[in-house]
């Protein structure tokens, strides 16, 4: 192939991610020309409500998948945390490159940490996963809806609309905004979303030539960890807007998977940690989901 077209969202972070994959592909394949097709998605346009109320995070990928179906694009680059656990028929994740930092970060110009915030102080997030974990530990804080891309969220914080916000570490790092973070939230404090920090390259399942071109970008350890995390979500309903967190780490032949499910108000939280064969990430994810279900996860999620 002489030319590839990557479908991408229009946000600065999404464009950075697509450009990153473009440069990697052009460096790998001499003579290959890679173009970007920036698109607006429903997830980017619906800024007045939480994603779980608007139809889930799949709203960030549908327009990109339509561009591939219609032949306007050959592949799409996503943040894996935005990709539903079950892809539509005919699509496949062809490669998951090495993961960036999967943690969340606390950002504030007034306070050093969530623990330092006084009763009634406002924390901005649109994530049920984040808000539930914050409320569980700090019920005195006020969680307020915060939508928009990274730059928009930071601008709202700077205007004083919130006293603190919580963002993904990977997004700040990719945009060169690491200096904005006030404190890194360790996974023990804030368990990440399945696939957080990882990129996914999606294409039509039948396009073997595309899959072959992007295959060298895949990282085996990251792929296995993300598959385990997504398996938890899939086994518990598959909706990536659920208040569900999962984070896997592989060390040699062993994988450790931590996961949790919470009620939206943070009053009920169930957790588990399982270890198993890194070569069987789907089995490990299903085992974690089973343990969460035994603790009442499905009742909490209403599935």
Q: What is the reported pLDDT for 301?
A: 83
Active site annotation includes 48:
no
pLDDT tens figures, 42-55: 655 554 554 554 44
Residue from 44, 48, 52, 82 carrying the catalytic annotation: 82
Q: What is the reported pLDDT for 40?
A: 84
Domain hosting 229: range is 219-303
Distance CA 10, CA 13 (A): 8
Supply the CATH number for residue 78's domain: 3.40.190.10
Angle at 83 between CA 82 and CA 88, to 5 degrees: 150
Write the DSSP symbol of residue 303.
Answer: -
Q: Does residue 78 share a domain with residue 206?
A: yes
With 0.75 as the threshold, say if the pTM is over it: yes
Distance CA 299, CA 301 (A): 5
Q: What is the reported pLDDT for 303?
A: 60
Q: What is the reported pLDDT for 151?
A: 95
| Coil, strand or helix at 67 | helix
Q: Does 190 fall in a domain?
A: no
Contact 270, 214 (CB under 8 A): no
Q: What is the reported pLDDT for 266?
A: 85
Angle subtended by helix axes 150-158 and 12-28, to nearest 10 = 150
Q: What is the reported pLDDT for 8?
A: 97
Q: What is the reported pLDDT for 57?
A: 52
Q: What is the reported pLDDT for 242?
A: 73
Q: Does 191 fall in a domain?
A: no
Residues of the chain with pLDDT under 70: 42-59, 238-241, 303
User: How crowded is residue 208: how many other Cβ atoms within 10 Å of its Cβ?
Assistant: 11
Distances (CA, A) of 65 to 87, 284, 302: 10, 29, 29
Q: Does 174 fall in a domain?
A: yes
């Amino acid at each position: 192939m002489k030319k590839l077209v990557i479908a991408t969202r229009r946000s600065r972070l999404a464009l950075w991610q697509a450009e990153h994959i473009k440069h990697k592909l052009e460096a790998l394949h001499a003579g290959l020309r890679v173009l970007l097709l920036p698109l607006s998605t429903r997830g980017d346009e619906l800024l007045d409500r939480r994603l779980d109320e608007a139809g889930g995070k799949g709203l960030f990928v549908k327009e990109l998948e339509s561009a591939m179906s219609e032949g306007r694009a050959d592949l799409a680059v996503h943040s894996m945390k935005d990709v539903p656990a079950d892809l539509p028929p005919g699509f496949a994740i062809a490669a998951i490159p090495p993961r960036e930092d999967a943690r969340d970060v606390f950002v504030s110009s007034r306070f050093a940490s969530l623990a330092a915030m006084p009763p009634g102080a406002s924390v901005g997030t649109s994530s049920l996963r984040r808000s539930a974990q914050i409320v569980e530990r700090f019920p005195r804080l006020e969680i307020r809806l915060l939508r928009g891309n990274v730059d928009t969220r930071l601008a709202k914080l700077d205007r004083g609309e919130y006293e603190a916000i919580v963002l993904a570490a990977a997004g700040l790092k990719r945009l060169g905004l690491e200096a904005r973070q006030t404190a890194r939230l360790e996974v023990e404090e804030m368990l990440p979303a399945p696939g957080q920090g990882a990129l996914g390259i999606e294409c039509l399942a039948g396009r073997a030539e595309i899959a072959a071109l992007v295959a060298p970008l895949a990282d085996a350890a990251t792929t296995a960890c993300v598959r385990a995390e997504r398996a938890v979500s899939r086994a518990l309903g598959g909706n990536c807007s659920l208040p569900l967190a999962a984070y896997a780490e592989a060390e040699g032949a062993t994988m450790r998977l931590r996961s949790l499910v919470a009620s939206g108000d943070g009053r009920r939280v169930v957790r588990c940690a399982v270890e198993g064969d890194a070569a069987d990430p789907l089995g490990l994810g299903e085992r974690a989901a089973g343990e969460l279900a035994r603790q009442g996860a499905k009742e909490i999620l209403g599935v």
